[in-house]
């Protein structure tokens, strides 16, 4: 293996090229996961945010020092000069105003371990929630941003764009629609952050609650169950019946064996659209429409598994079987104790490929089911849009939920996956 400069340049170029291709492959996945963790306002507003930035609501950890912050607000409320803090004070309701004022007067010290908390300390801890809700309520008000009060505040480019949208620039109509979509909240949050840079630390929040939203919302947990159940049952059934038939084709001797197998092969060429309609009619007549039986049984019998396992069985050396036959072992015994244990790689490959194929199958579940609680994951995802409108962050969450099991199966079964492709030579 010569290590000539030419070879080194080729290798270097290859690395660069492969890295570029790799990045192209990974980037959409990253984008998908990122979008699934964004808030609705953020997803729509900032497509180029490669990392979640300003969250649109205040969390408790966002305020660096609550007492000091309350102090500032209370003081500004008393002052005459218009200021952002004064505007917030003005918009606060009675109860939160009390709490801010109380807390601003006291000087709470941290509680020593084991010591009994003093009254002012109790107030601060338990009422942070009230203060936070009060502030978040203010963020939703259209009149929060007032040019007089926020004159001296430096707004980011994004906030300026939004403000122009609200106010209408150069004689354009003010765009009031943004108030409804949550963008107002986001905008006000930007203003708040710009007004109090020292007091507010925007935490980079990943909205994990998107996942709970999607799973807990109507029927999605059920849909997940459907997919898992159907996939497991079909995979088990397919591997079992295919291995039995493959054993018959590979080893046993019976009339018409080759002709029947040719028939199997021929069907691999038939478009699924051809069989779909009569099978649907049959399933409907049997009363299996919109049921697990209808989702599982018609799918269990493809020729692919038999074909692939037969290939493999024929390659298994016959010595062990010869010995077993001479010892008087029954055919079932040979199948169970000799051939199957030797075929673990092929069986694993078939299991994995079948799992993937059933998990992502779309057309047949779409045809057979017509109520939401019987949908499988792909069908539910496709129907998502009709149910929830175009909420990309939720749809990306659904996509991630669908993809993760396949990724896990692939990562753990990678070896068998590749083996399966080589054995069967057909796309999964």
Partner 1 sequence: MDRLTVLYRRNNLAALAFLAPNLAGFLVFTSLPVLAAFGLSFFRWDLFSAPEFVGLANYFDLLGWHAEEGRTASNDPEFWQYLGNTLFLMLVIPLNMAGSMFLAIVLNQKLRCRVFFRTIFFLPTVCAGVGIMLLWKWIYDPDFGLLNNFLSLFGVEGLLWLQSYYWAKPALMIMTLWAGIGGTNMILYLAGLQTISPELFEAAEIDGAGAWSKFIHITYPMLMPTSFFIFITSMIAGFQGGFEMAYVMTQGGPAGSTTTVSYYIYDHAFRFFNMGYAAAIAVVLFVFVLLVTLVNWKYGGRKVQYV
Q: Segment 348-387, which members bind partner 1 (CB under 8 A)?
A: 356, 359-360, 362-363, 366-367, 377-379, 381-382
Nearest CA to 324 out of 339, 310, 346 is that of 339
Please say which residue, 144 or 261, places its beta carbon nearer to partner 1.
261
User: Which of 79, 167, 216, 252 is the binder for partner 1 (CB under 8 A)?
Assistant: 252
Q: How many CB atoms are closer than 10 A to CB 16?
A: 10
Please say which residue, 92 or 356, places its beta carbon nearer to partner 1.
356
Q: Does 321 bind partner 1 (CB under 8 A)?
A: yes
Looking at 286-359, list the stretches that DSSP marks H as alpha helix, in order from N- to C-terminal side.
292-296, 303-315, 319-326, 331-333, 340-342, 344-359
Nearest CA to 198 out of 84, 104, 69 is that of 69
Nearest CA to 75 out of 103, 117, 55, 104 is that of 104
Nearest CA to 121 out of 70, 63, 67, 71 is that of 67
- 14's CB contacts (< 8 A; 6+ apart) are none
Residues from 39 through 68 that contact partner 1 (CB under 8 A): 43-44, 47-48
Question: ∠ at Cα 403 (397, 407), nearest 5°?
Answer: 135
- 415's CB contacts (< 8 A; 6+ apart) are none
- Least distance (Å) from partner 1 to the CB of residue 393? 10
Phi-psi region of 91 (alpha: psi -120 to 50; beta: other; left: phi over 0): alpha
> 8: buried, middle or exposed (CB in 10 Å: 19+, 13-18, 0-12)?
exposed
Please say which residue, 131 or 396, places its beta carbon nearer to partner 1.
396
- Least distance (Å) from partner 1 to the CB of residue 127? 39
User: Which of 183, 185, 306, 369 is the binder for partner 1 (CB under 8 A)?
Assistant: 306
Q: Which stretch binds partner 1 (CB under 8 A): 55-63, 69-77, 102-110, 302-310?
A: 302-310
Q: Does 425 bind partner 1 (CB under 8 A)?
A: yes
Please say which residue, 360 or 372, places its beta carbon nearer to partner 1.
360
Residues from 88 through 147 that contact partner 1 (CB under 8 A): none
Please say which residue, 108 or 428, places its beta carbon nearer to partner 1.
428
- 114's CB contacts (< 8 A; 6+ apart) are none
User: Which of 78, 112, 147, 422 is the binder for partner 1 (CB under 8 A)?
Assistant: 422
How many residues touch partner 1 under the rule CB under 8 A: the total is 101
As a whole number of angstroms, the distance between CA 239 and CA 216 comes to 33
User: Which of 301, 320, 329, 340 is the binder for partner 1 (CB under 8 A)?
Assistant: 301
Looking at residue 200, what DSSP letter applies?
A: B
User: Which of 303, 346, 350, 374 is the binder for partner 1 (CB under 8 A)?
Assistant: 303
In the beta sheet, which residues pair with residue 63? Answer: 200
As a whole number of angstroms, the distance between CA 156 and CA 175 comes to 19
Axis-axis angle for helices 344-359, 303-315 (nearest 10): 170
Residues from 253 through 272 that contact partner 1 (CB under 8 A): 253-255, 257, 260, 263-264, 267, 269-272
Q: Does 21 bind partner 1 (CB under 8 A)?
A: yes
Helix or strand (DSSP H, E) at 44: helix 40-45
Q: Does 275 bind partner 1 (CB under 8 A)?
A: yes
Looking at 140-250, list the stretches that DSSP marks H as alpha helix, in order from N- to C-terminal side.
157-167, 177-180, 183-195, 209-216, 220-250
Please say which residue, 47 or 341, places its beta carbon nearer to partner 1.
47
Q: Does 284 bind partner 1 (CB under 8 A)?
A: yes
Q: Does 32 bind partner 1 (CB under 8 A)?
A: yes
User: Which of 76, 300, 349, 358 is the binder for partner 1 (CB under 8 A)?
Assistant: 300
User: Which of 9, 14, 98, 133 is the binder for partner 1 (CB under 8 A)?
Assistant: 14
Site pattern 187..216 for partner 1 (x: CB under 8 A): ------------------------------
Q: Which stretch binds partner 1 (CB under 8 A): 13-21, 52-60, 66-74, 139-147?
A: 13-21
Q: Does 251 bind partner 1 (CB under 8 A)?
A: yes
């Amino acid at each position: 293996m010569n290590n000539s400069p030419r070879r080194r340049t080729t290798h270097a170029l290859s690395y660069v090229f492969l890295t570029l291709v790799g990045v192209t492959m990974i980037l959409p996945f990253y984008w998908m996961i990122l979008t699934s963790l964004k808030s609705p306002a953020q997803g729509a507003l900032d497509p180029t945010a490669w990392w979640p930035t300003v969250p649109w609501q205040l969390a408790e950890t966002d305020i660096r020092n609550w007492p000091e912050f309350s102090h500032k607000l209370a003081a500004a409320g008393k002052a005459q000069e218009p200021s952002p803090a004064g505007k917030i004070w003005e918009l606060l309701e009675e109860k939160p105003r009390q709490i801010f004022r109380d807390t601003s007067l006291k000087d709470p010290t941290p509680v020593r371990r084991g010591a009994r908390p003093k009254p002012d300390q109790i107030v601060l801890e338990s009422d942070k929630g009230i203060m936070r809700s009060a502030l978040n309520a203010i963020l939703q008000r259209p009149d929060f941003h007032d040019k007089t009060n926020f004159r001296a505040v430096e707004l980011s480019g994004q906030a300026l764009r939004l403000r122009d949208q609200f106010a209408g620039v150069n004689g354009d109509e003010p765009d009031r629609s943004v108030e409804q979509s949550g963008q107002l909240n986001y905008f006000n949050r930007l203003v708040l952050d710009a007004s109090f840079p020292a007091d507010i630390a925007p935490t980079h929040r990943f909205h994990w609650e998107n996942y709970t939203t999607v799973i807990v919302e109507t029927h999605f947990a059920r849909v997940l169950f459907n997919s898992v159940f159907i996939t497991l049952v079909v995979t088990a059934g397919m591997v079992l019946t295919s291995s039995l038939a493959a054993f018959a084709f590979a080893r046993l001797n019976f009339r018409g064996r080759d002709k029947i197998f040719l028939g199997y092969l021929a069907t691999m060429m038939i478009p699924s659209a051809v069989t779909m309609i009569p099978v649907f009619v049959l399933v409907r007549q049997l009363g299996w429409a919109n049921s697990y039986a209808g989702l599982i049984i018609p799918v269990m019998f493809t020729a692919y598994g038999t074909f692939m396992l037969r290939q493999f069985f024929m390659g298994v050396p016959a010595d062990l079987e010869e010995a077993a036959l001479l010892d008087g072992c029954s055919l079932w015994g040979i199948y169970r104790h000799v051939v199957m244990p030797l075929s673990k790689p092929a069986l694993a490959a078939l299991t994995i490929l079948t799992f993937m194929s059933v998990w992502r199958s779309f057309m047949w579940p779409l045809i057979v089911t017509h109520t939401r609680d019987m949908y499988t994951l792909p069908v539910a995802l496709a129907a998502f849009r009709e149910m929830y409108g175009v909420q990309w962050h939720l749809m990306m969450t659904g996509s991630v939920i669908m993809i993760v099991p396949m990724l896990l199966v692939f990562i753990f079964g990678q070896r068998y996956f590749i083996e399966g492709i080589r054995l069967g030579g057909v796309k999964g």
